[in-house]
């Protein structure tokens, strides 16, 4: 089972290596790892996607690392998750219109046109990117690059299920 873990850490050299080593040392394979700044320039957010059983022990170990500020496991529906993908597809002249129409369904942006290929950029939920990749397979995927997954917890909702609103003074 895939687990999405957000780790908020101090923005210091070597923190990424320590976190990755902690997972590797316990036999976990990291499927995706993305690191970037937060609204606070002294902190970074790591989004780690890892396959394995219960993550309770891993979370406890992450808290023991010196520069860890907060650890959150995002269960299904708790978080907003996104990835970005660039994919180059074979595109002979007679098929280009068909391929571009298919890409438009996914709101993929054409970012390069070659003599025999089209390159698309697509950002969205991981399942959407996987569906787009599957749709492009019959045309011949030449090359593909994907970012790591980024994620954050959804905003709090009120008791009636609507989003909480900020009140102005």
Q: What is the pLDDT of residues 88-127, one digit of tens each?
A: 999 999 999 999 999 999 999 999 999 999 999 999 999 9
CA distance 82 to 151: 6
Q: How far, in Å, are 15, 30, 153 from residue 74 at the CA level?
A: 21, 16, 7
Per-residue pLDDT at 52? 82
Q: Is pLDDT of 169 > 80?
A: no
Pairing of strands 2-10, 43-51: antiparallel
CB 137 within 8 Å of CB 155: no
Q: Is pLDDT of 167 > 60?
A: no
* Average confidence (pLDDT) over 17-46: 93
Same-domain check for residues 31 and 68: yes
Report the domain count for the chain: 2
Same-domain check for residues 55 and 84: no
Burial, 100: exposed, middle or buried (Cβ in 10 Å; 0-12, 13-18, 19+)?
A: middle
13 domain-assigned = yes
- Cα dihedral 8, 11, 16, 22 sign: negative
Domain containing 131 equals 80-151
pTM of the model: 0.80
Same-domain check for residues 69 and 85: no
* Average confidence (pLDDT) over 18-38: 92
Per-residue pLDDT at 158? 56
Same-domain check for residues 53 and 72: yes
- Top pLDDT among 52 and 99 is at 99
Q: Is 90 left (phi over 0), alpha (psi -120 to 50) or beta?
A: beta
CB 5 within 8 Å of CB 72: yes
Same-domain check for residues 73 and 86: no
Q: What is the pLDDT of residues 57-82, one digit of tens each?
A: 899 999 999 899 999 999 877 889 99
């Amino acid at each position: 089972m895939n687990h999405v873990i957000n780790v908020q850490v101090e923005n210091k050299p070597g923190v990424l290596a320590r976190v990755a080593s902690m997972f590797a040392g316990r036999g976990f394979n990291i499927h995706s790892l993305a690191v970037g700044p937060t609204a606070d320039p002294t902190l970074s957010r790591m989004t780690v996607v890892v396959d394995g059983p219960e993550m309770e022990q891993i979370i406890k170990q992450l808290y023991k690392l010196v520069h860890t500020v907060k650890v959150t496991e995002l269960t299904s529906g708790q978080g907003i998750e996104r990835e970005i993908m660039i994919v180059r597809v074979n595109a002979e002249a007679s098929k280009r219109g068909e391929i571009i129409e298919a890409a438009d369904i996914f709101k993929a942006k054409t970012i390069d046109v070659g003599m025999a290929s089209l390159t698309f950029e697509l950002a969205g939920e991981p399942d959407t990117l996987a569906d787009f990749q599957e749709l492009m397979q019959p045309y011949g995927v030449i090359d593909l690059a994907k970012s790591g997954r980024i994620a954050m917890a959804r905003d709090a909702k009120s008791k009636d299920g609507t989003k909480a609103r900020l009140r102005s003074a």
